[in-house]
Structure 1
Amino acid sequence: MPTIRDVAKEAGVSVATVSRVINSNGYVNEDTKKKVVKAIQLLNYKPNAVARSLFKKQSMTIGLIIPDITNPFFPQLARAVEDVTNDKGYTIILGNSDESSEKEKEYLDIFEQKYVDGIILATNTLTSEQIAALEKPVVAVDRPIDSGIPTVVAQHRDGAHVAVKHLVGIGCQTIAHIRGPEHVVSADERYKGYLDIVQNQQWYSEQLVVSGNYTIKDAYKASLNLIKERPDIDGIFAGNDLMAIGALKAARELKKKVPEELAIIGFDGIDMCETTYPELSTIVQPVYEIGVTAANMLIDLIENKRVNNQYFEYPVQLKVRNSTRGQTPKNCG
């Protein structure tokens, strides 16, 4: 494999001159630059990316931390980020945190060692002080961290309003909520949206809210107990689609007809909603657009470009399928 010394020898210049050409650092006259470029092409020389990052403290790499790679929402988000970064000459290092603050800190240490140029975070464990200490651009996605940190999210609370109103509109009279983890901002916002609509209803009680931890398994178990204890429930708003799928499984096991006896709606709009039986109604987030916006914003910040709007809140959309009844899809927010 050719080295930078081989290129210098072929071009008849010093190693320092080759380095200046490769790193666009310092003056090199045009004739000399052409000789170096010709030598690089002739020898098929590939600059050592690690060495360049050590020299420039820059790597054309961004870090991406997501909480759960098994949740289809986050691979869709990661795909959008990767599409943008690849198009702009950057690569990504992906970290799956499992909602663990320790794992997130470990990934941040790795990102520092790799000289990543910026980071996209979907986290609720890191503080604004920890992020400021990174001394590099950071964009929060899906979950806001602090008003001073650039952020891209969806309208979680408004989306919950639309989901619950849809259940009311199709005749549901006792509506339960399967909520996500209490430390996750998006889960809290969706729970608050549910409460905004139902808390003054005569039938409402805290017993109608159970935790599903954003997973099929936990939501399935919670839904089994909930439906057994409250057979009068005729509507369920799940805080994400995976939990709605868990509720569908529980309803099927308890021989509750969906949607005739129990209507179920989720949140996120993952592709799996079209493969369930019955197909799942949901509140659709524009996940690809969220990822694209976050990646573009981060790269603009890395490249010191002006970013006028550092907070994006995307509207969501009601998508009605066979797990609920009636109504026409509409934009909300």
Structure 2
Amino acid sequence: MVGMRDVAREAGVSTSTVSLVVNGNGYVSAAMAERVSQAMKRLNYVPNELARNFSRNETDLVGVIIPTIRHPFFATLTASLQSALYEQGMRTVLCSTADVDQDVSQYVDMLRRRAMDGIIMGAHAVYPADYWSSIERPIVAFDRFLGGSIPSVGSDHSQGGHLAASLFAHTGAHHVVEIGGPRTLYQTASGPRSVSLGNIQIAGQTTFPPIRYHLAFEQRLQQTGIHYDYIEIENVAQMEQFRNAAHLAFERYPDLDAIVAPDLAAAFCVQEAFRRGRAIPGDLQIIAYDGSYVSDLAGLKLTSILQDFDGIANALARQLLQAIPGRVYRAPDATQRQAGQEGTGLNGARPGSVPGSELIPMSVKLGESTRWEGSIEDLLSSE
């Protein structure tokens, strides 16, 4: 393997001169740099990028920790996140905790050893807040609350829940079935304040911000007198559970006339409704929550509450790079960002309730799975 010494010998210069040319961290005359470059070409020398980055105390690597890449939401978000980080000169090291039963602490240890420049934490992990703050390295949370010193980015789930419930309220739904993840996640909280979610009491600041979706959704249904029930998917990494949840919704609640569910479960609900002869949207309305590619593969175009995948990814990249010393975030072209958005909703991120947190607006994409009275603009302006 050709090394710097070989290049130095070929160019007739010192090894330190070759190092300066390769790393670009010192003065070398144009003539000398050209001699080194030509020697590198003749020898087909490829610089050791890893070694160069370590010498600069940088790796250009970001650890991205998510529950699973099987789930359409996390698969879509990961694709957007990899693209957003690549545009900033960063590459991703992916940890899918549920798929490989990997311990989050292994990635934290890599960060402590400076084998990565930062971590985007999007998986559920029960650690005290001082665990994360003690790392003293760049960490940004996605849809998680890791402590007051850790910035976080997530969708404005209060807005999303309100939009979904308002759509059902405006179209005369009577019995809504809500399909979602395990509610035990919502109980990992501490503090003096509490809220009620069904039969679960949530104390203080939950570590799982998507609870805002369920709170806003159910509170809006209560205000309008719409009955609702909840069906739980225990493990979002097991795709068969989404199909089972759709089947259970019809078996357990034969009088249901509206369903809100993650994209995959919503798609299975469409299939289950077709098998049972239920007319969509006349007899049954279905809303998909997330808006990944699956919402267009159900057999009809699903009305969806959209999470802005590119908006989330760019916000996570920006928050992380701003926390890495010496890094400068380059904002993506505004026309490219707008071209990737679909649906109707509010524009512009807003601060969350935790200092340093950021909420990305959600929107509605109207499909064939809901009735509609009036325009989507009328709903948004009246709520």
Q: Deviations over 1:166-205 (max 9, x none)?
A: 0121111122211223226254222112221123565636
Moved more, 262-271 or 24-33: 24-33
Aligned residue identity for 2:174: Q
Aligned pair 1:279/2:301, yes or no?
yes
Aligned pair 1:193/2:234, yes or no?
no
Aligned match of 2:232: 211
Alignment of 1:16-165 (within 5 A): 16-25=16-25, 32-98=32-98, 102-110=102-110, 115-125=115-125, 127=127, 128-165=129-166
* Cα gap change, 1:152 to 1:99, in 2 (>3 Å): farther
Aligned match of 2:178: 177
Does the 8 Å contact 1:138/1:298 carry over to 2? Answer: yes
Aligned match of 2:270: 248
Alignment of 1:227-242 (within 5 A): 227-238=250-261, 240-242=262-264
Aligned match of 1:221: 244
The SS at the match of 2:123 is: coil
Q: Deviations over 1:73-101 (max 9, x none)?
A: 22322222222333333222122122888
Does the 8 Å contact 1:152/1:294 carry over to 2? Answer: yes
Looking at structure 1, the residues matched to 255 and 324 of structure 2 have their Cα atoms a distance apart, in angstroms, of 54
Q: TM-score, normalised by structure 2?
A: 0.75
Q: TM-score, normalised by structure 1?
A: 0.85
Aligned residue identity for 2:104: E
Aligned pair 1:301/2:347, yes or no?
no
Looking at structure 1, the residues matched to 134 and 41 of structure 2 have their Cα atoms a distance apart, in angstroms, of 41
* Cα gap change, 1:12 to 1:59, in 2 (>3 Å): same
Report sequence identity in percent. Answer: 28
Count of paired positions: 329
RMSD: 3.0
Aligned pair 1:323/2:369, yes or no?
yes
Q: Deviations over 1:292-327 (max 9, x none)?
A: 2212332233244588x8432111111121111114
* Cα gap change, 1:217 to 1:168, in 2 (>3 Å): farther
The SS at the match of 2:281 is: coil
The SS at the match of 2:22 is: helix
Aligned residue identity for 2:43: L
* Cα gap change, 1:250 to 1:129, in 2 (>3 Å): farther
How far off is 1:15 after superposition?
2.0
Aligned residue identity for 2:50: V
Q: Deviations over 1:112-145 (max 9, x none)?
A: 5671111222122154433334432122224443
Moved more, 5-14 or 134-143: 134-143
Moved more, 157-166 or 248-257: 248-257
Structure 1: unaligned runs, 5 residues or longer:
none
* Cα gap change, 1:216 to 1:93, in 2 (>3 Å): closer
Aligned residue identity for 2:48: N
Looking at structure 1, the residues matched to 22 and 143 of structure 2 have their Cα atoms a distance apart, in angstroms, of 38
* Cα gap change, 1:200 to 1:99, in 2 (>3 Å): farther
How far off is 1:221 after superposition?
2.3
* Cα gap change, 1:129 to 1:99, in 2 (>3 Å): farther
Aligned residue identity for 2:316: A
The match for 1:262 among 267, 284, 287 is 284
Aligned match of 1:168: 169
The SS at the match of 1:93 is: strand
Does the 8 Å contact 1:160/1:193 carry over to 2? Answer: yes
How far off is 1:3 after superposition?
0.8
The SS at the match of 2:227 is: coil
Aligned residue identity for 2:268: G
